[in-house]
């Protein structure tokens, strides 16, 4: 299941990531940015950014290095040119030894995002790859106020940029005549049911500095990425250098092909199936397993009536810590082509920004593969059990599964005796956000076969960002 972001500040980081805040490249040049802890002066990461163009598309590439040796390469592709929103994103993270830690592939077409709570217009910007045109830097220099809407799985955020004044700014790349730009955010579409007063109180500040002269590029960013940080509360990203392109970097696009590769297709054993409904979307879900040499592979596949299909995979070994090795989510177009793929390994190396990341032993993927695991996690003699889940943003939450009693569930023409249970996230909410807990903390209802298999017969709850329609899974009478 894709649980909704439970804290506003964390959710804001999801939609407004610092790693790709905006297209920061300069045609024909290599630009380098460094992110620094303002308190310790420690360099947290260094990113080289440049452009490539060919007959198929324009691309902005980024190579980021962390002090421990972790390396991330990414690509935002603009098939319609840099003046239009990005069309795809690919990224791969590797350890110093070359071990894959995570990979991401996205095709930026709203029809491939079935859990969005609000419609996406053609001129809206994907959060992972905001184009330079969205900022309209020449207009900012003139003093105009710019509003752009950006989107991701988490929802829609309005970004309002306006000039605060001129100053002489010194960064590692040199001294520049700069314009300071304040960025305000409109969260009304991300949290449509939260009172506007609360949203106005807890919105974090963002500031960027841009050059006053063409080609108008970003010199400094403050406020991005700080909201979710544990070790580094105050950071800044600054322009470190402008240099020439490196021919050795031309091979990065080929390296990124792994991000969208389908990979091996194991033989699966079906364990459950049922109908799937979320708002006006309907489909059929199948839950299956496959033994591997490294553990048990769990696969959940949802085929929607409009041709879109989503698939979640996780590898589980209950003798390991954490119990889950990785989480792999995919989406397929009606043609069968893969259009989205996200892989995250559940190990500390996947979180170079947080080397002390807590990964509990009972950690599973916050995804639909829980439909296979929940019957095994259902408490027996006790009334409740606890375990942890983690999503692709690295957010770890504890879940309680609590027996509520017995009931009947209509499967086809027959009634099945079922155990009714509640799933409730346990979240340590900061004092400032406690009045909003009602809006951020979802709960889920699950019904299990009263027999020994405890097959999941029904599941009801919000799977996605705030405001999405409730999803309902109802099992078939017999698995098919």
DSSP string, 384-437: EEEEEEE-TT--EEEEEEEEEEEEEEEETTEEEEEEEEEEEEE----GGGGGGH
- 220 plus 341 within the same structural domain: no
Q: What is the pLDDT of residue 58?
A: 92
Q: Identify whether residues 227 and 272 lie together within a single domain.
A: no
Are both 36 and 145 inside the same structural domain? yes
Count the neighbouring beta carbons within 10 Å of the beta carbon of residue 294. Answer: 12
Predicted confidence at residue 239, as pLDDT, reads 96
Question: Does 318 reside within a domain?
Answer: yes
Quick check: is 400 in a domain?
yes
Q: What is the pLDDT of residue 355?
A: 84
Q: Which two tokens stand for residue 193?
A: 């049911």
d(CA 251, CA 255): 7
DSSP 33: E
Look at residue 203 in the predicted model and tell me its pLDDT: 65
Whether residue 2 is contained in a domain is answered as: no
250 lies in the same domain as 274: no
Domain that holds residue 332: 265-475
pLDDT of residue 241: 96
Q: Give the 3-state secondary structure of residue 59.
A: strand
Quote the pLDDT of residue 282: 93
pTM for the whole thing?
0.90
The closest of 386, 418, 350, 402 to 94, measured between CA atoms, is 350
CA 448 to chain centre: 30
Nearest residue to 336 via CA among 373, 298, 308: 308
Same domain membership, residue 224 and residue 151 = yes
Residues 301 and 447 placed together within one structural domain of the fold = yes
Structure tokens at 42: 């420690």
Q: Specify whether the CB–CB gap between 437 and 6 falls below 8 A.
A: no
User: Does residue 1 belong to any structural domain of this protein?
Assistant: no
Picking from 240, 258, 276, the residue at the C-terminal end of a domain is 258
244 shares its domain with 279: no
Residue 142 neighbours by CB under 8 Å, 6+ apart: none
Residues 171 and 22 in one domain: yes
Q: 361 vs 150, 319, 364, 395, CA distance in Å?
A: 36, 9, 9, 15
Q: Which residues pair with 179 in a beta bridge?
A: 166, 210
Name the domain boundary from 258, 278, 301: 258
Same domain? For 456 and 429 the reply is: yes
Buried b (16+ CB within 10 A) or exposed e, 60-84: bbbbbbbeeebbbbbbbbbeeebeb
Tell me if 390 is assigned to some domain: yes
398 C-beta neighbours (distance < 10 Å), count:
15
Confidence at residue 465, expressed as pLDDT on a 0 to 100 scale: 62
Render 185-221 in DSSP notation, one character per residue.
EE-TTTSTTS-HHHHHHHPPPEEEEEESSTT--EEEE
**Residue that has been written with the tokens 């506007």 in this structure:** 196
Same domain, 87 and 221: yes
Among 258, 286, 312, the domain boundary falls at 258
Residues ≥6 apart with Cβ < 8 Å to 473: 274, 275, 276, 285, 371, 456, 458, 459, 460
Could you give the number of structural domains in the chain? 2
Alpha carbon distance 351, 394 (integer Å): 8
Q: Do 238 and 291 share a structural domain? A: no
Q: Is residue 391 in some structural domain?
A: yes
What CA–CA distance (Å, rounded) separates 86 from 183?
21
Q: Which helix (DSSP H) or strand (DSSP E) does residue 63 occupy?
A: strand 58-65
Weakly modelled stretches of the chain, pLDDT under 70: 1-23, 117, 193-195, 197-204, 224-231, 427-441, 464-467
Assess if residue 3 is contained within a domain: no
| Spatial CB neighbours of 416, under 8 Å, sequence gap ≥ 6 | 408, 409, 410, 449, 450, 457
CB 363 within 8 A of CB 389: yes
């Amino acid at each position: 299941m894709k649980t909704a972001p439970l804290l506003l500040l964390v959710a804001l980081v999801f939609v407004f990531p610092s790693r790709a805040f905006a297209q920061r490249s300069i045609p024909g040049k290599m630009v380098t940015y460094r992110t620094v802890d303002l308190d310790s002066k420690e360099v947290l990461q260094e990113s080289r950014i440049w452009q490539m163009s060919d007959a198929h598309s324009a691309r902005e590439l980024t190579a980021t290095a962390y002090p421990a040796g972790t390396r991330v390469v990414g690509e935002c592709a603009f098939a319609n040119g840099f003046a239009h929103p990005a069309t795809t994103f690919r990224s791969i993270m590797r350890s110093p030894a070359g071990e894959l830690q995570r990979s991401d592939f996205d095709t930026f077409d709203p029809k491939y995002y079935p859990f969005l709570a609000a419609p996406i217009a053609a001129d809206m910007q994907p959060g992972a790859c905001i184009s330079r045109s969205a900022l309209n830097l020449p207009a900012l220099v003139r003093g105009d106020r710019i509003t752009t809407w950006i989107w991701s799985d988490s929802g829609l955020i309005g970004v309002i940029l306006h000039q605060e004044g001129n100053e002489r700014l010194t960064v590692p790349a040199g001294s520049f005549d700069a314009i300071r730009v304040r960025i305000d955010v409109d969260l009304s579409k991300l949290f449509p049911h939260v009172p506007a007063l609360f949203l106005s109180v807890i919105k974090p500040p963002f500031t960027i500095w841009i050059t006053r002269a063409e080609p108008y590029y970003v010199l400094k960013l403050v406020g991005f990425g700080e909201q979710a940080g544990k070790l580094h509360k105050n950071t800044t990203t600054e322009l470190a250098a402008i240099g020439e392109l490196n021919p050795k970097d031309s091979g990065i696009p080929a390296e990124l092909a792994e991000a969208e590769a389908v990979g091996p297709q194991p033989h699966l054993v079906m364990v459950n199936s049922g109908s799937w409904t979320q708002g006006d979307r309907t489909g059929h879900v199948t839950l299956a397993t496959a033994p591997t040499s490294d553990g048990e592979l769990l696969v959940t596949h949802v085929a929607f009536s409009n041709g879109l299909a989503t698939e979640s995979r996780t590898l589980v070994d209950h003798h390991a810590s954490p119990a889950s090795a990785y989480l792999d989510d995919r989406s397929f177009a009606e043609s069968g082509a893969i259009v989205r793929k996200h892989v995250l390994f559940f190990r500390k190396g996947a979180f170079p920004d947080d080397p002390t990341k807590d990964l509990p032993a009972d950690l599973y993927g916050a995804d639909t593969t829980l439909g296979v695991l929940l019957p095994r996690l259902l408490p027996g003699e006790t009334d409740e059990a606890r375990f942890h889940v983690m999503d692709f943003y690295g957010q770890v939450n504890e879940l309680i599964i609590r027996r509520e009693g017995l009931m009947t569930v209509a499967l086809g023409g027959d009634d099945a005796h079922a155990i009714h249970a509640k799933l409730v996230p346990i979240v340590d909410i900061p004092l400032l956000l406690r009045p909003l807990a009602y809006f951020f903390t979802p709960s889920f209802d699950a019904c299990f076969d009263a027999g020994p298999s405890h097959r999941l017969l029904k599941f009801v709850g919000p799977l996605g960002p705030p405001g999405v329609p409730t999803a309902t899974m109802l099992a078939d009478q017999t698995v098919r």
